[in-house]
Structure 1
Amino acid sequence: MNILVINCGSSSLKFSVIEACSGKDLARGLFDKLGSETPCYKMESPLLEAPATGSLPCHAGYETALDTLAAYLASEQLQLRIDAIGHRIVHGGEHFTGACLLDQPAMDAVKSCSSLAPLHNPANLLGIESAKRHFPKLPQVGVFDTAFHQSIEPEAFLYPIPFELYQQHGIRRYGFHGSSHKYVASEAARILGKPLKQTSIISAHLGNGCSAAAIENGSCVDTTMGLTPLEGLVMGTRSGDLDPGVIFHLHRSLGLSIEEIDTLLNKKSGLLGLSQRSNDMRSLRQASAEGDVAAQRAVKIFTRRLAKSIAGLRSTISSCDALVFTGGIGENDVQTRAETLARLAHLGIQLDPAANASAGRGQNGIITQPDSPLKAIVIPTNEELMIARETAQLVGSN
């Protein structure tokens, strides 16, 4: 079954075509700067020699992007059959515990969650509506970033604020990066040779956005992101955890508006704010090696906060088979893994420096010593494949 996976952002549309059974990547691409004066695209397929690149008309949006995408997939050179479409949707609130067919009630429920993800869900909905018009005969499936975390119990998802704010307004921890955490949990079980329902891990998804999750017997029991993707670990441009009183101080003492504070915490903080240089860990590692004190400070705070969160999550599960690193930083930054694990030696982790240097290649991603009581594993995430699998499973069962 060939699944078209669509991920709509506020000004972009990413896509993949994946053969769900084999996991084979048949095509992928990005439409960027949608709605601007210079929208552009790049699409490529291993079935073709060269990528297709170009510009779209000024201020072109999702409709034009999907026109171009549909023509590419149906072109004489490619002729890819699409059986269903899987949409990444950021926030499903408490409505969705798994993938669902996007009928009108489901669309209404997604829309009702827009206040919880105002930068994401409206864009997701526009992409879904455009896809329905372009591919009216195909099943459309929603796969939610929040769904995997719906197994979390109230003691973990409730905030210590008046209970009626949860009852009336749904203010609680939801968690994100669910498709990534779910994918690496299943891969960890495979690597460890255990059934997923008998596998317990802590997974750390580290990219420009970062989150960690405690997964016990295949189900999530706690995670670091909360009502929004702003809570938790230090990220590329997001602050992660901080005293809520900081917000009041920024407003009362410095005169910043709510909108300015929102921008500051989401787009000007994290690694970028600490280093005053970059949100890219690769640049900061290079700057650190050259003696840049601010860059050194930023990466040290990043790994300290990460280790602190992992140690806290370990207390939420009765046993732990492995700590998993994934995402751009988790998969590629040798020093981040080494520095984080050095702070977690009390958990029984014995790092193999040579294996870590190669990201565990040839060892199923395992970067700890063979006799390490707790394993650490590097697993490349594949959220698109997870979305394709869930879409195919749901369509097949219906």
Structure 2
Amino acid sequence: MIILVINCGSSSIKYQLLDMKSDDVYDIIAKGIAEKIGLPAGILQYAPTGKDKIVTDVPIPDHKVGMQLILAALTDKKTGVLKSLEDIEAVGHRIVQGGDFFSGSVLVNDDVLQKIDFCSDFAPLHNPAHLLGIHAMQEVLPSVPQVVTFDTAFHQTMPAYAYMYGLPYEYYEKYRVRRYGAHGTSHQFVAGVGAKLAGLDINTSKIITCHLGAGSSICAIQNGKCIDTSMGFSPLEGMIMGTRVGNIDANAVIYLENKLGVTPDEMSVILNRKSGFLGLSTKSSDARELDELANNGDPKAKLVFKKFTYDIIKNIGSYVAAMNGVDLIVFTGGIGEHNSRLRRRVLENFSYLGLKVDYEANVAFGE
């Protein structure tokens, strides 16, 4: 069965074309990413299995254009792996926010789309992008079943004392204001893979997973279940991120609204799209560009990485305390997988736990 898996992030679309042999056995036919969406210089990567990766510099103003470019690459007459789009038998989508509506994967229908749209207020950078991907697929492949899986589903095991805010209880009852978390699909998957690689039983282990990218979150997993995570009501909460502010005093938001004379919607744009790495550095939201700037002595870029590193250390430390120990720390995401210096700086802070960094292994990506 040929399945196209789509992951529409806030600034990228990752994709894999899979040949499913059974529930957990598959071959990757092709994979890639459309990245830097909405930035001046977009990049499309297309990697057919066993062949050279093709990287194209191309403007990608929005997610719909990104999806069109991906489908064109898969069906290209010279380098494509599909004779036509009709070869695709199903499409799977990762959705950031499902609220209290979903605790597992579901087939897409009008009701599901309405609920995903309803949850866009909780994840304004993500759910609208996911819907663009779904609608684009529906236009091109109207008869192909589409399935969605939710980042919030894995976090449904959080206890109430971890997911409740100190607001009047009626706001939770009426408006479902609580902490939902995000990246749950990633946290669940890498915890399982990490436990297997480390020879641990996930059902009796204490694991901390760090998903670090344009959006970042950390998750505490005890006995195979999420007990806490750094993102909250929306993916805005937590650490400093590419364009997201992370944790901020609500009074600071109210103060700035008054000083700037902006509406709540305009303030949301500032917090979600103009802050984080971009806001603090004044130059870029891309960690790779900021890493180069920091290496060349840019003080604001250095500050971004110092704060990002500190936020990671602080979150890991709090979860070690919450679980009374840790057996495994896992890094994933674009930054988590590729920035060995960041991993080293984070892990060196936990020498008090008896942790020692294997510096050779740390730089041996993919081995």
Give the letter for the 2:315 counterpart: S
Give the letter for the 1:246 counterpart: A
How far the C-alpha of 1:304 sits from its partner, in A, is 1.3
SS of 2:322's partner is: coil
Distance in structure 2 (CA, Å) of the matches to 1:158 and 1:209: 22
Query: Structure 1 stretch 339-348 or stretch 26-35: which is displaced more?
Result: 26-35
Kindly provide the CA deviation profile for residues 272-316 of structure 1, in whole angstroms up to 9, marking residues without a partner as x. 322333333333333334333323222212111211111112222
Does residue 28 in structure 1 map to residue 28 in structure 2? Answer: no
Kindly provide the CA deviation profile for residues 16-71 of structure 1, in whole angstroms up to 9, marking residues without a partner as x. 21134444321235678999xx9997755237778597999x99957993995598
How far the C-alpha of 1:156 sits from its partner, in A, is 0.7
Distance in structure 2 (CA, Å) of the matches to 1:145 and 1:45: 27
SS of 2:346's partner is: helix
Structure 1 residue runs without a partner (length 5+): 363-398
Change (3 A) 1:43 1:243: same
Give the letter for the 1:211 counterpart: S
Contact 2:181 2:232 in 1 (8 A): yes
Match of 1:117 among 106, 118, 123: 123
Who is 2:82 aligned against? 78
Who is 2:4 aligned against? 4
How far the C-alpha of 1:241 sits from its partner, in A, is 0.8
Match of 2:208 among 192, 202, 225: 202
Query: Structure 1 stretch 219-228 or stretch 97-106: which is displaced more?
Result: 97-106
Contact 2:171 2:177 in 1 (8 A): yes
Who is 1:331 aligned against? 337
Give the letter for the 1:299 counterpart: F
How far the C-alpha of 1:250 sits from its partner, in A, is 0.7
Contact 1:63 1:130 in 2 (8 A): no
Contact 2:30 2:81 in 1 (8 A): no
Change (3 A) 1:17 1:74: farther
Give the letter for the 2:126 counterpart: H
Match of 2:326 among 315, 320, 338: 320
Distance in structure 2 (CA, Å) of the matches to 1:353 and 1:34: 34
SS of 1:225's partner is: coil
Give the letter for the 2:279 counterpart: G
SS of 2:194's partner is: helix
Distance in structure 1 (CA, Å) of the matches to 2:263 and 2:141: 43
Contact 2:277 2:285 in 1 (8 A): yes
TM-score by length of 1: 0.77
Who is 2:18 aligned against? 18
How far the C-alpha of 1:251 sits from its partner, in A, is 1.7
Identity %: 39
Distance in structure 2 (CA, Å) of the matches to 1:11 and 1:272: 13
Does residue 242 in structure 1 map to residue 248 in structure 2? Answer: yes
Note the 1:22-101 alignment, pairs <5 A: 22-28=25-31, 45-46=48-49, 61=64, 65=68, 69=72, 72=75, 78-79=82-83, 81-101=87-107
How far the C-alpha of 1:228 sits from its partner, in A, is 1.1
Distance in structure 1 (CA, Å) of the matches to 2:53 and 2:312: 41
TM-score by length of 2: 0.83
Kindly provide the CA deviation profile for residues 127-158 of structure 1, in whole angstroms up to 9, marking residues without a partner as x. 33443454344332111121111111111111
SS of 1:87's partner is: strand
Distance in structure 2 (CA, Å) of the matches to 1:329 and 1:67: 23
Structure 2 residue runs without a partner (length 5+): none
Does residue 271 in structure 1 map to residue 239 in structure 2? Answer: no
Change (3 A) 1:332 1:129: closer
Distance in structure 2 (CA, Å) of the matches to 1:143 and 1:94: 13
Query: Structure 1 stretch 113-122 or stretch 241-250: which is displaced more?
Result: 113-122
Give the letter for the 1:199 counterpart: S
How far the C-alpha of 1:72 sits from its partner, in A, is 1.7
